[in-house]
């Protein structure tokens, strides 16, 4: 089956008095790997469940390809889903688990019944199903596990069985609900790579829900970052990292978290940080309190920088994260990322002066939206 | 070793020694209060299987169990499935079906006696209203065991339903959703693919406990028919021998037969179903 587009328009959903989804519009292209990412409770799982048909939306429509599926039974949407718990049928062998979606679709009702089914089912259909199961198992390298029960498998193997069950019938799109969160860190990193490869190989549409921004960043073609039932920003991983549209996006994406400094936009649009004009101007009409975001890698030791005290240094292998507390305003900590093994600018009393490149700052107005920053010709520091 | 002593002592005093005493009685012709007694080997057992009254009691008990076990289990499952999907009224149904479990069967038997009375009871009133002859539920010998069985089902239903409800609650929601996405559109497919297999351990437990309580049928017989011809059952026969006729030795051998049947049944079911049950 050709990969299909998934179009979501105006989806709203409330549980009781709370609106979990407040009008979501999203077009997922055929063959795209799209991640829905956000904090827990942001509505990403609910949105996925609405796409799957497990929940009904209060308003809005879902279409797959050119077909409106809003009112259609999950079984008829031709989607596959990988659950966080994998949801393997524990009483079935791996083979039967993978075969289930095919049995449900290709065998007539009486052939699916226990006992009677063995007599009624056409041998040819059963052979076809078995061949498809083998093929799916080969893709995920679990052919040697086909006769085991899920309880006899490791977490990573169960994950593969769940994937095999999803891909065995070439669905219109794959839905994944935090599929890697039950794996240990090393296996998770490995499976990220495998999932990406699988996506490239199948060319299928993937809709992937995660709260882990690293998973979203590493695998996705595009990310939809959700917060409080809305999509904050939709874009490629690079766009979200380099030009976060809102403060929420800036906070969510990136490890270590972005450094945020309280700043001000004065009446003539100058950006003021710690009562000093930075020689930058904000576009637009936003005035008053603002926030400057600076990524850890954009901070470096500078002789004329802001004085700070080093609180701790974490070596991450190639990089080193240095957490510093500002001397002037001790409520603010900054994290600097630098190459490990280099000498830092820390003096004998643990003090350092921090500078940053003015072209690399992110400015957010009082409405928490991104403001474009213009550099003035002359620095008026 | 020393620490297990109290437990061993209790085990001996409560279970092992009474069983040995029972076995000892069963090979004697001891009568309660008798001054002398003699060893008669397996004579009691031979006598039991040659005794037409005991054999009828055995057969009646089997018929009773054959009605109560499947109906008591599957009807309870059906009710549990219906009650499980109620949201607000669930608590009401749970209590309604569970009430018979808390009610004393002896007391409730008087209600059944009234309900099934040939001239006073509403059941027969309904039957005659439809133009049929009144049915002697508690007087026609061939209807006694089926009538007892219906009361027996009425009693186990609530307990079994609660057990099945617990089993249903334990099934992960993800599995129900996975099977829907995997293409199971009709409830029968969903039931056969997820619900029924996942209820395996519950079903096994329910079948075993229902079998045991079916073989222990006693109160209804004692109260409603007093073991009249047609309603002889194992425990009632045992009660008559042991307590009415004081044939302690003979009653002991009947008890052993009863225990053997229950044990074989429970172990047999457990072994048979264990292979199919997924935990």
Domains of chain A: 6-242 (3.40.50.300), 255-375 (2.40.50.140)
A263 pLDDT band, cuts 50/70/90, is: confident
Decide if B223 is inside a domain.
yes
CATH number at residue B208: 1.10.3720.10
Compute the nearest-CA separation of B182 from chain A (Å).
Answer: 4
Decide if B179 is inside a domain.
yes
Measured distance CA(A321)–CA(A259) in Å, rounded: 12
Share of chain B above pLDDT 90, in %: 37
Compute the nearest-CA separation of B81 from chain A (Å).
Answer: 20
Best probe of the A interface among B182, B193, B196, B198, by most A CBs < 10 A, is B182
A380 pLDDT band, cuts 50/70/90, is: very low
Each residue's pLDDT tens digit, B185-223: 888 889 989 999 999 888 988 998 999 999 999 988 888
Helix (H, G, I), strand (E, B) or coil at B27: coil
Token duo for residue A218 = 């590493």
If you search the block for the tokens 């039931």, which residue do you land on?
B191
| Distances from the Cα of A67 to the Cα of A6, A7, A51, A71, angstroms | 9, 10, 13, 11
pLDDT confidence of residue A379: 46
Least confident of A134-138, A374-378, B88-92: A374-378
Compute the nearest-CA separation of A105 from chain B (Å).
Answer: 6
Q: By residue range, what is the domain housing residue B112?
A: 50-274
Q: Domain total for chain B?
A: 1
Q: Which residue of A has its CA nearest to B275?
A: A91
Cα B15 versus chain centre, distance: 22
Within 13 Å and on the Cβ side, how many CA atoms surround B205? 14
In A, which residues are within 8 Å of B275 by CB distance? none
Exposure letters A188-199 (e unless 16+ CB within 10 A, then b): beebbebbeebb
A322 pLDDT band, cuts 50/70/90, is: confident
Q: Which residue of B has its CA nearest to A98?
A: B182
Decide if B34 is inside a domain.
no
Residue B174 has its nearest CB partner, among A53, A74, A85, at: A85
Measured distance CA(B83)–CA(B165) in Å, rounded: 8
Compute the nearest-CA separation of B122 from chain A (Å).
Answer: 43
Q: Does residue B253 carry a pLDDT above 80? A: yes
Helices (H), A53-184: 94-106, 109-112, 116-120, 123-139, 155-167
Decide if B93 is inside a domain.
yes
Each residue's pLDDT tens digit, A188-211: 888 898 889 889 888 889 999 999
**What average pLDDT does this structure show over B248-261?**
91
User: Are the beta carbons of A89 and B175 separated by less than 8 Å?
Assistant: yes
In B, which residues are within 8 Å of A100 by CB distance? 179, 182, 193
Decide if B86 is inside a domain.
yes
Residue A237 or residue A374, greater confidence:
A237
Dump the DSSP string for A23-57. EEEEEE-TT-EEEEE-STTSSHHHHHHHHHTSS--
Residue A114 has its nearest CB partner, among B174, B180, B192, at: B192
In this prediction the pTM is 0.81
């Amino acid at each position: 089956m050709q990969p299909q587009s998934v179009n979501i328009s105006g989806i709203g959903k409330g549980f009781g008095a709370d609106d979990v989804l407040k009008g979501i519009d999203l077009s997922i292209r055929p063959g795209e790997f799209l991640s829905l990412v956000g904090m827990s409770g942001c509505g990403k799982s609910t949105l996925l469940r609405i796409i799957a048909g497990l929940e009904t939306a209060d308003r809005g429509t879902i279409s797959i390809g050119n077909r409106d599926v809003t009112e259609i039974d999950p079984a008829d949407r031709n989607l596959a889903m990988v659950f966080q718990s994998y949801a393997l049928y524990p009483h079935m062998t791996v083979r039967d688990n993978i075969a289930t979606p095919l049995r449900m679709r290709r065998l007539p009702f009486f052939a699916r019944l226990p006992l009677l089914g063995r007599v009624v089912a056409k041998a040819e259909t059963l052979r076809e199903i078995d061949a498809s199961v083998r093929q799916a198992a080969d893709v995920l390298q679990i052919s040697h596990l086909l006769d085991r029960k899920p309880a006899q498998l490791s977490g990573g193997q169960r994950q593969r069985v769940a994937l095999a069950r999803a891909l065995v019938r070439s669905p219109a799109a794959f839905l994944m609900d935090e599929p890697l969160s039950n794996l240990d860190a090393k296996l998770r990193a490995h499976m990220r790579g495998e999932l990406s490869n699988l996506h490239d190989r199948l060319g299928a549409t993937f809709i992937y829900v995660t709260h882990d921004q690293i998973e979203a960043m590493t695998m996705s073609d595009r990310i939809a970052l959700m917060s409080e039932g809305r999509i904050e920003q939709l874009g490629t991983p690079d766009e979200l990292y380099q030009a976060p549209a809102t403060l929420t996006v800036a906070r969510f994406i990136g490890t270590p978290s972005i450094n945020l400094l309280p700043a001000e936009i004065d009446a003539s649009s100058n950006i003021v940080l710690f009562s000093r004009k930075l020689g930058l101007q904000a576009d637009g009409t936003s005035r008053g309190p603002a926030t400057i975001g600076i990524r850890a890698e954009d901070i470096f030791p500078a002789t004329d920088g802001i004085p700070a005290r080093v609180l701790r240094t974490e070596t991450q292998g190639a990089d080193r994260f240095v957490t510093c507390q500002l001397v002037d305003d001790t409520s603010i900590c900054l994290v600097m990322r630098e190459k490990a093994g280099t000498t830092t600018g820390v003096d004998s009393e643990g003090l350092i002066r921090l500078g940053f490149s003015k072209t690399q700052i992110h400015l957010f107005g009082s409405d928490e939206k991104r403001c474009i920053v213009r550099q003035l010709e002359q620095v008026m520091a | 070793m020393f620490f297990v002593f109290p437990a061993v002592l209790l085990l001996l005093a409560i279970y092992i020694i009474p069983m040995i005493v029972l076995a000892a009685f069963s090979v004697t012709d001891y009568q309660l209060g008798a001054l002398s007694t003699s060893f008669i080997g397996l004579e009691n057992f031979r006598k039991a299987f040659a005794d037409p009254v005991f054999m009828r009691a055995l057969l009646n008990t089997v018929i009773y169990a054959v009605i109560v076990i499947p109906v008591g289990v599957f009807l309870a499952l059906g009710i549990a499935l219906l009650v499980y999907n109620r949201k607000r009224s669930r608590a009401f149904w749970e209590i309604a079906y569970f009430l018979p479990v808390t009610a004393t069967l002896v007391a409730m038997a008087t209600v059944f006696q009234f309900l099934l009375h040939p001239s006073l009871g509403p059941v027969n009133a309904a039957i005659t209203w439809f133009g049929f002859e009144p049915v002697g539920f508690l007087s026609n010998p061939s209807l006694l065991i089926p009538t007892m069985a219906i009361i027996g089902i009425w009693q186990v239903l609530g307990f079994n339903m609660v057990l099945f409800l617990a089993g249903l609650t334990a099934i992960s929601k993800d599995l129900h959703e996975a099977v829907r996405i995997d293409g199971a559109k009709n409830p029968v497919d969903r039931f056969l693919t997820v619900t029924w297999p996942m209820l395996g351990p519950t079903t096994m437990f329910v079948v075993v406990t229902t079998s045991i309580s079916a073989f222990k049928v006693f109160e209804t017989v004692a109260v409603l028919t007093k073991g009249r011809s047609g309603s002889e059952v194992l425990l009632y026969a045992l009660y008559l021998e042991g307590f009415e006729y004081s044939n302690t030795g003979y009653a002991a051998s009947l008890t052993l037969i009863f225990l053997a049947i229950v044990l074989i049944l429970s172990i047999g079911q457990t072994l048979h179903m264990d292979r199919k049950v997924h935990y």
